[in-house]
Amino acid sequence: MADAAHREIPAGRRPALTGDDLAALSGLTGEGPALCARRRAAAGRYAAVADPDRVTHLWRFTDPAHLLPEAVQPPPPGATHAAPHALGAAARVLMVAGLRPLIATDLKALAAGLVVKPLAEAEEELAALSDRMRAAGADVDAAAGEEEGLFQALNGAAWNTGLYVGVPPGAVLADPVHVVVDATGGPTLPRLVVDLGEGAQAVVVEEHHGGDAGSRVVASSELHAAAAARLRHVLVQTWGEGVRGHLTARARAGRDADVLTVFASFGGERSKVELATDLAGEGARSEMIGVVMGAGRQRFDHHTRHRHLAGRTWSNIDFKAVADGSARSSYTGLIRIEQDARGSEAYQENRNLLLSAGSRADSIPELEILNQDVGCSHGATVSPVDPAQVFYLQSRGLDPDEALRLIVRGFLEKTLGRLPEDLRERLEALVGTRLAALQGRSS
């Protein structure tokens, strides 16, 4: 009985969602009847969904009660935020709980057909997206609740800032769409929908930052790449000290679509990230590249899932984690190849480097293969820094701190080298900031 009690969220710990709360949230965002109906449907699923099962791999390493906000009522009025600049980006967006997203869009991107607007003002675009998904054979109504967990349902019911990004068929954006989500203030529940038309190409950078010890974030991103589209989605988390949160990003790749998901986690106290891509069209490709660097008492928990639904699809995962102090990184990765997905290939690699005796890493790769006409493999390692490498570098004139930084850079180099140049520069800068914190460890 004690174990069962431990696996359940304590009574009253789930944030309450009343009809008045839903009405207030709808009024806050200014959404119309269709989105109000979606919010109420999600609230019904939130009320019915079971607590995450702590016995399964997905929640073995994180207690969901630690990530839930105490309440989801709208923040008090009167908050303000500064307008973003669009220089060097197709669009720049700042999202803050309870406020209308501030959007600055480049004129060339507008001329190319880019649509960036508050989610509450995108009912027509969302309805058209649902129609296209049905036309492609997707059961939209079933998908709305399929494998939806507690945090996804909570976000669907109580999101308090939302954004729609649409790129029309054939459009190619030369610069990224940069979305910044600020965790400062009350509970932040952002919702992002990205919709790429057939043959479109875009990079969307979703950056979560700010916040303090009282901040809680429950975010959800829904990504759609139509036939032959090319989507690059970058999910970066650099929260302030003490922030706790749950991030979800789910992508659907159509026929011959190409989806790259880059994820990087550096900040906060506790975070869980769930990334999933459905390869729904024949010839679709998906790659996930991740970097995690933890220190102190930070806890990172990442889960990836590639589901091959159609034939001749391809997926790959390259995930590296570095842990220092008493930090802990946990990873579970599922590859599922359905019976009809013949001729598919899938690969998964997770490598973990421990910089201290108190750090820890867990790695659980999983394969579910329902036909034999596939190529599939996975690998996982957890290892400390090799003292011989440190000694060798010291013998060449480096001090211990410099030697350790060089070893970590070498560990991450292959993964970072797989990124497009502009994304690599951004992540290398974040890695450099983390590596600077290793200064003085040997003194």
Contacts of 287 (CB under 8 A, 6+ apart): 259, 260, 261, 315, 316, 317, 318
- Do 244 and 270 meet the contact criterion of CB atoms below 8 Å apart? yes
CA atoms within 13 A on the CB side of 177: 28
Per-residue pLDDT tens listing for the chain (443 residues):
334 444 578 766 899 999 999 999 999 899 999 999 999 999 999 999 999 988 887 899 999 999 999 988 766 655 556 556 555 799 999 999 999 999 999 999 999 999 999 999 999 999 999 999 888 776 655 455 456 799 999 999 999 999 999 999 999 999 999 999 999 878 999 999 999 999 999 999 999 999 998 899 999 999 999 999 999 999 999 999 999 999 999 999 999 999 999 999 999 999 999 999 999 999 999 999 999 999 999 999 999 999 999 999 999 999 999 999 999 999 999 999 999 999 999 999 999 999 999 999 999 999 999 999 999 998 999 999 988 988 888 888 888 888 888 999 999 998 888 887 777 888 888 888 888 876 555 44
Distance separating alpha carbons of residues 55 and 7, to the nearest angstrom: 8
Distance separating alpha carbons of residues 424 and 114, to the nearest angstrom: 25
Distance separating alpha carbons of residues 396 and 255, to the nearest angstrom: 53
pLDDT the model gives residue 84 = 61
From the CB of residue 195, how many other CB atoms can be counted at a distance below 10 Å? 25
Residue 47 burial (C-beta neighbours within 10 Å; 0-12, 13-18, 19+): exposed
User: Cα 119–123–129 angle (5° rounding)?
Assistant: 95
SS3 27: helix
> What residue segments make up the domains of the chain, in order of their start?
2-281, 386-443
Distance of CA 192 to the CA centre of its chain: 11
Distance separating alpha carbons of residues 12 and 2, to the nearest angstrom: 18
- Do 312 and 351 meet the contact criterion of CB atoms below 8 Å apart? no
E-state strands within 67-200: 91-96, 102-105, 115-118, 161-167, 177-182, 190-196
- Do 79 and 185 meet the contact criterion of CB atoms below 8 Å apart? yes
SS in 3 state form for 119-154? HHHCHHHHHHHHHHHHHCCCCHHHHHHCCCCHHHHH
- Do 204 and 232 meet the contact criterion of CB atoms below 8 Å apart? yes
Residues of 112-143 as b/e, b for ≥16 C-beta within 10 angstroms? bebbbbbbbbbbebbeebbebbeebebeeeee
Q: Tell me the whole-structure pTM to 2 decimals.
A: 0.93
pLDDT the model gives residue 2 = 37
Strands 91-96 and 177-182: parallel
Kindly state the tokens that stand for 362: 């867990």
User: Which of these, 419, 69, 104, lies nearest to 236 by C-alpha position?
Assistant: 419
